[in-house]
Amino acid sequence: MNKINIEEKLSLFSERRSPKIVAELNGQHVKLVKLGGEFIFHKHDHEDEMFLVLKGWFNMEFEDRIVRIEEGEFIVVPRGVVHRPVAPVECSIMLFEPSTTLNTGDIQDAEFTKPVLDWI
Amino acid sequence: MNKINIEEKLSLFSERRSPKIVAELNGQHVKLVKLGGEFIFHKHDHEDEMFLVLKGWFNMEFEDRIVRIEEGEFIVVPRGVVHRPVAPVECSIMLFEPSTTLNTGDIQDAEFTKPVLDWI
């Protein structure tokens, strides 16, 4: 029940596209991730995902459009919707999603999939 | 599936201690609230609550201690834990909690309890 300082947690890692868990509540995880470059298109069949931009910006690409998300903005990607985040420059994100969520959803990819996440 | 700008949403209301819903995912609500003054001690028997400070700071008072939460920090209050937020000056907060969560938990109070929340 200690408070968590987001800036301090972000300073603990530099690896990109590797979400770190910082809190758990009601079966949901709060994660921090640094994006950079292109991710892969994927979807989550049973989980909605929230992306809140802490620093920088990124484009959330859908099959039919692109939404640019900037600092202080967030988007909820509903379950079943194909998406991929693309960050031309490094961008720090807070994620809210069920603790069962795999970062690449329905896609298994040797480069991108992170089946086990660290707590920081 | 539109993005949400937090600053813009905060500009839509001035009422204190009256959470507004801005998003829903996985049975959870994302809410914005402006704190000011003392709240009442209460607990939630079945819901964990997350308080993320967007602007300003507040004290989360527990039965045995006080934790000061500042901008860019958050705290998760586990179910069953008696607490009350106290904000000497106005403070803007993002809440994450199950959509079933009543703001005053196990306490019904004519002044503080908000049984129905608006979406903004």
Tens of pLDDT, residue by residue over A59-81, are 999 999 999 999 999 999 999 99
Quote the ipTM score: 0.95
Q: Is B80 on the interface with A (CB under 8 A)?
A: no
- pLDDT per residue as tens digits for the range B52-93: 999 999 999 999 999 999 999 999 999 999 999 999 999 999
Structure tokens given for A30: 């709060």
Measured between CA atoms, the residue of chain B closest to residue A55 is B72
CATH class of A26-98: mainly beta
Sign of CA dihedral B62, B64, B70, B75: negative
pTM of the model as a whole: 0.96
- CA-to-CA separations, B64 to A30, B70, B79, in angstroms, rounded: 26, 20, 16
Q: Between chains, do A23 and B62 touch, taking CB under 8 Å as contact? A: no
pLDDT for A14: 97
C-beta atoms surrounding A62 within 10 Å = 15
Residue A50 has pLDDT above 90, yes or no: yes
Which residues in chain A are contacts of B99 at CB distance < 8 A?
none
Residue carrying structure tokens 């069920």: A98
Distance from CA of A6 to the nearest CA of B (A): 6
pLDDT for B7: 98
Give chain A's mean pLDDT. 96
- pLDDT per residue as tens digits for the range B14-29: 999 999 999 999 999 9
Distance from CA of B38 to the nearest CA of A (A): 20
B115-120 average pLDDT score:
94
pLDDT band at A36 (very low <50, low <70, confident <90, very high): very high
Distance from CA of A78 to the nearest CA of B (A): 8
Percent of chain B clearing pLDDT 90 (strictly above): 98
Q: Between chains, do A1 and B26 touch, taking CB under 8 Å as contact? A: no
pLDDT for A27: 97
Residue B1 has pLDDT above 90, yes or no: no
What residues of chain A, 1 to 40, have a C-beta less than 8 Å from chain B?
1-7, 23-26, 28, 30
Q: Is A109 on the interface with B (CB under 8 A)?
A: no
pLDDT for A51: 98
pLDDT for B4: 98
Residue B96, strand partner residues:
B30, B50
Residue A43 has pLDDT above 90, yes or no: yes
Q: Between chains, do B3 and A77 touch, taking CB under 8 Å as contact? A: no
pLDDT for A1: 78
